[in-house]
Structures are given as C-alpha cells and as structure tokens.
Amino acid sequence: MTTREFDGIRLEKLREHVWEIPREGEMNVPARVLASETLLEEIGEDDTLRQLKNATHLPGMVEPALCMPDGHQGYGFPVGGVGAIDARTGCISPGAIGYDINCLSGDSEVLLSHGRRRRIENLFGRFEDERARVAAADGIFDSDIQLFSMTDDRTVYEIETETGDTVTATGDHPFQTSNGMTEVDDLATEDDVFLHPFKGFPDDEPPEFVVLDEDDFADEDPQLVRVLKERDLLPLRSTDDAFHRLLKLVGYHTGDGSFSRSHTCFYGDPADLEAIQHDIEAIGLTPSKIYDRERDHDIDGNEFTRTEYSINSGSNAFKQLLIRLGAPEGRKVESEFTVPDYLHRLTDWQRALYLSAFFGAEMSRPDTVAPKNSYAPSVSHNRVADHRVDGETFMRDLMRHLNELGIRTNALEEVERTETTAGETVRLRFGISTDSDNLIRFFTQIGYRYAHEKQRRGLLVAQYLKRKEQVINERARVAEEARALADGGMATRAIKDRFDQVNDRFIERSLYGGRKGRPRPPADFPDFEQFREQTTVRNNLTISSEVTSITERGKMDVFDIGVTHDAHNFVANGFVVSNCGVRMVRTSLTYDDVRGCEAELVDALFEAIPSGLGGGGVIDGDADAIEGALERGVEWAVSEGYGIESDLTHCEDEGRRPDARPEYVSRKATDRGRNQMGSLGSGNHFLEVQRVTDVFREEVAEAYRLSEGQIVVLIHCGSRGLGHQTCNDYLRRIERDHADLLESLPDKELAAAPAGSELAEEYYGAMGACINFAWVNRQLITHRAREVFGDVFDADPIDDLGMELLYDVAHNIGKKETHEVPVGPDGRPATTEEAVDRADRELYVHRKGATRAFPAGREEVPEAYRSVGQPVIIPGSMGAGSYVLRGGSESMSVSFGSTAHGAGRLMSRTQAKQEFWGGDVRDDLEREQAIYVKAQSGATVAEEAPGVYKDVDEVVRVSDELGIGDTVARTFPVCNIKG
C-alpha cells in the first residue's frame, strides 16, 4: 500500500485518487482526500490535512470526512470540505459551512514571542516565520501564524478603555469580553473588555554575530561539543531562537539557580518551573521532573519550614553552555561575575529577556506603600567584602541597561554588612523609580519572567496606575479649562456649573492657586486593594477594563491574522481579539457575435453591476424586499419582475429553501444586506462572460443546451454581509451556550450546536434564509446582466439572445439530506467497524466550498435535467477554462453527492500580491489571451491571478475519473469583472 506523510499526518492510498487518514485517537471516523498525487502535494503544503482530521471529531460524523480535489485551508474546516453528520444525534457547525475573518487598523501592534511587538501591517511577507501571543483559557502561549489578510477601505472604530488603552478595528471584529467574543458593533460604553497589558519592545532586527562557537569549548570533551552541535546550539548566533531562550535561562539561573558537580538546578514555584522546563526542552535538552523537599530556616531567630521546589538537568553540555553565557559558577557571594559582556550588543527586546528573568528570580514583588501609591520594586544582591567592587559593577550594569531601556532607577546603596560563614558580606540594593509612568513602563515592557504571580501583580498595578493617570489627566484638563474660562471673564458660579464631574472646591483651588502641581485623584477613587477586588485578572494575565468610548474613525486599509492555536485569538494593542454559490446563464450568442465588443461589454457590465466592498446593489432593499428575499428566494425576485419562470425550475431547490426562517436572522444582519441586494462583493467573486470551447458528452450537453462556440455568463457570489453577519451571530451564541461541546473539539473554529437543540434549529432556519438571499443576489445580478446584453447588442435578452438560466448551485451550505450509511445493532449510524448493515438516515451534509453533484434519477434534480443528472459548475481562474459537469453515478457512494467547486487556491492573497502586479496581469490577459478584465483595484486582479490557483483541468480530471462529477463541457473567459 502506498503511503504519504505531510507534517506528521499519514495518508494511505486506498485506490486511484483516494487517500485516507486512518481513524485514531478521538477521531470519530477516518478522513479522505480525493486527489491525484499532484493535487495531494499541493493540498499537503498548507493546513488542510490537519483541519480535515480535526473535523472528524465533530459529534455524529458518519463515514469519512472528505476533502475535494480543489481543497485548501480555511478557518476550522478546509475549503473543499464535505462532512455528513447525523441529524438526530450529531450537530450542525457554522464553522464547517463557512465564514470570514475581520480586521484591525495597520498600526495595531501584535504581541509576538519573546516580548516583541510589531505593527500588524508590517507582518506582511514574513508572518509565516512568526509566532503570536495567544491568550488561552489556561495561560498565554506562542502560536504559529497561518494566515494574513489585508482589505482595502473599511470603516473602522476606535475603542478606548478607562485605562487609556486604544485600538482601531472594523465593526465586525470580535474582542474578548466577560460574555465571550463580542464584535465592535455589539460593544457599548461601560462594557468590559479583556486586556493583556504587557506590550514588550518593538521588534527591532537583532545585530547578527556568533555568541559562542567550538573554540569556546576547546578544553571540553569532543562528545560535549557533538551534543551541542546536534541540537544546533553551536555555533550559537545572536539571532537564534535558542539563544533567546538561553538569555532567559541564564538570567534566572543567575538569580535563583546553582550548579553541582553534575547538575544544573533551578528553584521556584512549580508553575514557573514548568515554563523553565519548556524552554530547556525547546533547545533540545531534557529537564528533570519537579522535585520538592522541606527546608528549615532560621532568619534573625525566626525559625520556619517551607517547601522548596526545583528542577535540574544532568547534561554537562547544558551546564557548560550556561557558564560560557555568563551564569556564575561556584558560590555567587564569593564570585567575580558581572552582567554578560555580550548584552550591550543586543537589541532592546533581547536585553529585556535576560533582565526580566533575573528580576523574576530576585526582585521584590510589586506592592503599595500607601493605599494609592506603589512601592518601588527593588533588587538586593550580596557579595563578600573582597568582591564588593564586582557586586557594584554587576548592579550598576543592571541599572545602566534599565536606563537605556527607558526605565529610571533609584541610586545604588549599601544597606547592611553582616558576618557569614564566607566572611564579611555586603548587601547592595537599588529600586525602580516610583513615578507612575516609569512603573508602568517597567511592568508592561520588562516585568518578571518565570514568575507568574509577580508578573500578574505587576500588570495589575500597571493597569491601576494607568487608570489613575487617566483620572488625574482629566482633572488637570478641567483645571486648565476652568482657568481659561475665568481669564475670559466667566463667573465662578457658571464655571462650577459647567463641570459636573468635579466638586466646587476643586474649581476654587484651580482658580485661586490653592494647588501646587498636578491634581490628586478624587476622594472616591478606589485604592489599589479596592481596585484589585473589583477587577478580574485571569490565568492568562488578561485584565478586565471598562470601555469609555467607541468612535468612528472613517475608512482605512485593515489587516488580520489567523493563528493555529485552538484559542484562535491574539493580542493587539493589549486587546485580546478572534454562503456563496455560482450560476451559469446560457445565451444564443456565439463567440463571433461578441468579438470586437469585448471592451464595450466589460465596461458596461462593470458600470451596471455593483462590486467591491461596502454597499450598493442593483435595487434598494427596503423592508419588504429583504423579507421577501429571505423567505421566498428567487420566487420573490421573479414575482417582482427580476426574472422569468424558467429561472425557478433551473435553480437548486427551485431557488427557495422551504425551511428558511427569516425571524432568526438578526436585525444587524438584515441591515447589512439591505443595500447589497444585487452586488458581487470582493475576493474571488466575479461575473465572467465565457465561450464554450469543448463538448465532451454530446447527449448531456444537448440536455443542457450547450454547444461549441456558444456564449455563456458565469456569476459567482454569495449572500454578502448578511450571510457573514448571520454566521458570526450564531458562532458567538454557540461559543456561549455550548461551551462544553466547544471544549471537546480540537479546533474552536469548528464551533457546533447539538442536533435537536434550540440553537441548532434556529441556525438552520437562519441559514436557509441566507441561502435564499444569496440566490436572490445572483438573480438580481442576472437581471442586470440581461439588461446590459440587451443594450450592447440592441436586442431582447430573452426572446432574441436566449439568456436563460442553465443552473444555480450553492457552495457554502449545510443541508438535511437522506443518505445510506452504516448502522449499528441499534439502527443508529455507526463506524464501519461497528456496522451490521446499511440504511438511509437523515444527515446534515456540510459543504464548505464544495458543490452538490446529484446523479441522474434523484428527485432533488430539476425535472429538466433529471434524466441526465444535475449540472455542476466548476470555475477556473480568469486565465484558464471553467467546466460544466453533471453529477456522477458514483457521487452518492463516494462523496455524499458532492464534488469540487473550483480550481482551489495555491497561495494566499497576501502572497499573490507579492508575486503578481495587477496591472501586468490584466494587460497580459488581454494581450496574450484576448481576455478583458475590469476590477475595483489592481490588488484584486493580483489576488486572483491565474497562477494563484490549482490546475482546474487536473481537479476536473480527478472528479471525472472518480465518477463523482462527469465532464460535459469546457468554457474559456472572454471578459471578466471583479470586486
């Protein structure tokens, strides 16, 4: 048996074009990829296989989860994915049907690994090499970034909190709140959002140099050098990820570690030692388990016992590595060590790694000296008198580095001398200067690594000080404005009445000079302990903060990233942030009729049919229109004069989902759809005029009324903002109401509601209404396209040009369908191993970027095509052909009546814009292939360049050879409009 492996996921070849990921662990069923070896190579390059494997964990999944030949990674479920789930005992998953990502302004700073931050717009081009910080329920972690997106010209809003933290985002971007992820449009002042206050330092590029090489270990056993080289620790460069972890380990060990003859030991709290274990493992070495022992202590006559926790490493290579990086060997009090001499060569965020780890071990925890004022965190350090100068040098070096990082310190002082077994010992100390701005910078940029409780307390103090500073700044503004009004002649009483946020005494002191310096916070401002009791701090170091304003800031380009961690969030500016289809219209025109009119036709179509982001449609969607579209679908459009009767009989489900429930679509969603009725949108949505170049099955083509040289019109678009908003509405409700199910899934993007639950029924009804809206959207575009053709060719579009609908089929959709599946002894769907028979069962068939492909004879196929099979439309890129297929005879047994929905992307939109220039792509298509393209921007053309997609010929070949979609005809672009 042939096997292939991609990133640890093994596939077995069952037969030609069928590859299976065997069932293991908590997978309910196997997963299968329907692809040639060439397509499998492309599918294996992104995260498709992991997403497909994760989908098998959805409750009630029957038989294998499937990936069509055009598959590529999406969010949660791969695009091109098909999953059938028992409609009684399983679930329905919006994440497995499809939804979009949302966006932040380009200046939003994303927190990355190792305490770095970078503007999100500057992640372009290198996001795949980065790791973002993710606030999961049980802590904060690093996560690979798998996707990056940029969207032009979106309306954005600035959110500000009581602590002065701000971020700018689109209205549909979700933020973490006490009620789960909440979109900006649903936030209000006085709502709480969660912030991760640590912001680190700008991600400056480190100077590259060799820190250690083999010459530094010339006196050691060659075996030791070999161990280090095998783990890529020699040569050790200043830009290596391992070096950054070692900076922390050296810093902490200098404070709270020791060497024995054969071991390197670290001491601390168990949770902090786990973080140290993780970093030791990450550089390729093995730490011990966490040990504990009782230790007796006597300090100034005060005797007590406490538990000491530690870990160690028995690797001499690790020990020698730390020593050469600056960790003191022997008794520290008698040592000559100082700060490592290479530290001054490093960039700010690298120096902060060493300093914060040392402070995690040695600095006092944050505290208050008075109810509203903070104590200076301080570092004490002991050396025997003979090494006092070395101790002073070490401490002054720490102070110098802090000062260079913008953190002011108090003076170094000698606080005591004592007699110890080592002789006379000097204790030195310095502290962090206690003005608020300085403490905030220290806690949010350096802080304490490997010391969770200190870090937690420090960030809480920082948020308290930021809130206090906001209040003081506001009072200072009022005082200054009051003085200006008095200078202008306004009476004191009138000034007092103007400012109701302060009392009369405050105004009097502001006017008559009773105050020196900045004002103090008001008497009712909480002290730190009250603030601590009122404020939620979670294990992931996120802290609740009240929203004080939400302000529209106009339009700008916006950006988003997608992380691989199951929490699916990231930290930006301190904030924790996380249906389409296609139809073909045939005409009686031939290519010869259109030649010479291409430029006129593409201009007229582009002018007449709204495209791109935002509003604008073929009609203005009033309340009656929205209700009619959601409830009745294409039937409503035809009754309003936007179609003909045959449009109904040539559309999937006759253009109406009978189970649609418009009342379950939110007002917010209908408002978004109101001014988008009859619009293409953006991304890969398009209208393309094509010519039929090849016919492969004459009898089927005749039934479809297709012939070589004929002109057809392909329209690919969906339900626009209405469908996107509806999906997001239900995702948020599912996250809140079915958190237990969500926790059991390997990927939170697969959020699902249990079959039979109220939420599942409401979502299914709302989705049906959105499908109706998508059909109406394409119907209105068809209506406008008919009008354009009529004007350009001076003929009646129906009677003279024969512009009738061939077929309209949905892509991102979940449907209740009856399929034959394995059943167990109790008659319920079962795994193949447990099955005793096969029987028909009602399933939720999730098709995300896949096309229903029912064969001849199925009653769901329109009567006009029932004898030959349902038409299937598979668009290629705008520089390649598209295909018309029919539902294959094997589709019901192989793929739940499904096949591919397009060529499938090979590269992200971001990568496409790096590889291609829109103007060049457009010009090349016109010059070399006589294809005329018009779009809202060159970036859109670049994102959809022919080289961005898989080979549609290969996708269709696999479908045909598997018998799930038989080729009928091939078409080729004449002209194309895009958003």
Mean pLDDT, range 820-833, rounded to an integer: 78
Which residue ranges make up the annotated binding site?
Answer: 100, 684-688, 716, 811-812, 875-878, 882, 901-904, 978
Asked whether residue 192 carries a pLDDT value surpassing 90, the answer given is yes
pLDDT of residue 678: 85
Look at the alpha carbons of 905, 906, 908, 910 in this order and tell me if their dihedral is positive or negative.
Answer: negative
Give the CA dihedral 833, 837, 842, 848, nearest 10 degrees: 40
Number of residues that this document lists for the chain: 979
Asked whether residue 291 carries a pLDDT value surpassing 90, the answer given is yes
Question: Which structural domains are found in the chain, ordered by start?
Answer: 104-196+554-577 (2.170.16.10), 210-450 (3.10.28.10), 454-534 (no CATH)
Tokens describing residue 518: 């900045």
Mean pLDDT check: name the lowest of 642-646, 658-662, 673-677, 970-974. 673-677
Closest CA to 703 of 899, 866, 873: 866
Mean pLDDT check: name the lowest of 527-541, 694-708, 940-954. 940-954
CA separation for the pair 802, 589 (Å, rounded): 8
Asked whether residue 612 carries a pLDDT value surpassing 70, the answer given is no
CA separation for the pair 477, 483 (Å, rounded): 10
In the structure, what pLDDT confidence band is assigned to residue 761 with cuts at 50, 70 and 90?
very high
Task: Give tens-digit pLDDT for 859-907.
Answer: 999 999 999 999 999 998 888 889 999 999 999 999 999 999 988 777 7
Asked whether residue 732 carries a pLDDT value surpassing 80, the answer given is no
* Strand (E) or helix (H) holding 778: helix 758-793
Closest CA to 174 of 666, 576, 537: 576
149-163 burial: b if 16+ Cβ within 10 Å, else e:
bbbeebebbebbbbb
Q: What is the pTM of this model?
A: 0.62
pLDDT of residue 844: 93
Task: Give tens-digit pLDDT for 34-90.
Answer: 999 999 999 998 889 999 999 999 999 998 999 999 998 876 788 899 999 999 999
pLDDT of residue 615: 56
Mean pLDDT, range 173-190, rounded to an integer: 84
pLDDT of residue 681: 74
Asked whether residue 824 carries a pLDDT value surpassing 70, the answer given is yes
Paired with 822 in beta bridges are 838
% of the chain at pLDDT higher than 70 = 95
Asked whether residue 368 carries a pLDDT value surpassing 60, the answer given is yes
Mean pLDDT, range 384-410, rounded to an integer: 96
In the structure, what pLDDT confidence band is assigned to residue 736 with cuts at 50, 70 and 90?
confident
pLDDT of residue 210: 97
Active site residues: 901
Highest mean pLDDT among 354-368, 474-488, 546-560: 354-368
Asked whether residue 102 carries a pLDDT value surpassing 80, the answer given is no
**Helix, strand, coil % (nearest 5) of the chain?**
35, 30, 35
pLDDT of residue 580: 57
Mean pLDDT, range 348-374, rounded to an integer: 90
Count of alpha carbons within 13 angstroms of residue 831, beta-carbon side: 14
- Helix intervals (H) in 794-917: 891-895, 909-915
Give the CA dihedral 918, 921, 926, 928, nearest 10 degrees: 170
Task: Give tens-digit pLDDT for 87-99.
Answer: 999 999 887 776 5
Higher-confidence residue of 803 and 949: namely: 803
In the structure, what pLDDT confidence band is assigned to residue 680 with cuts at 50, 70 and 90?
confident
% of the chain at pLDDT higher than 90 = 61
Higher-confidence residue of 314 and 172: namely: 314
In the structure, what pLDDT confidence band is assigned to residue 595 with cuts at 50, 70 and 90?
very high
CA separation for the pair 8, 558 (Å, rounded): 35
Render 603-658 in DSSP notation, one character per residue: HHHHHHS--SSS---SS---HHHHHHHHHHTHHHHHHTTSS-HHHHHTBGGGG--T
pLDDT of residue 503: 87
CA separation for the pair 36, 30 (Å, rounded): 19
Task: Give tens-digit pLDDT for 250-287.
Answer: 999 999 999 998 899 999 999 999 999 999 999 999 99
Tokens describing residue 488: 């202008």
- Please provide the average confidence, as pLDDT, over all residues in the chain: 89
CA separation for the pair 772, 638 (Å, rounded): 13
Query: Do 268 and 253 touch, CB atoms closer than 8 A?
Result: no
Mean pLDDT, range 800-821, rounded to an integer: 90
CA separation for the pair 465, 433 (Å, rounded): 14
CA separation for the pair 62, 79 (Å, rounded): 19
pLDDT of residue 100: 45
Task: Give tens-digit pLDDT for 445-459.
Answer: 999 999 999 999 999
pLDDT of residue 579: 47
Closest CA to 525 of 543, 550, 502, 548: 502
pLDDT of residue 98: 62
In the structure, what pLDDT confidence band is assigned to residue 910 with cuts at 50, 70 and 90?
low
CA separation for the pair 535, 545 (Å, rounded): 8
pLDDT of residue 114: 97
Q: Assign residue 961 a region: left if phi > 0, alpha if psi is -120 to 50, beta otherwise? A: alpha
Closest CA to 347 of 493, 482, 204, 480: 204
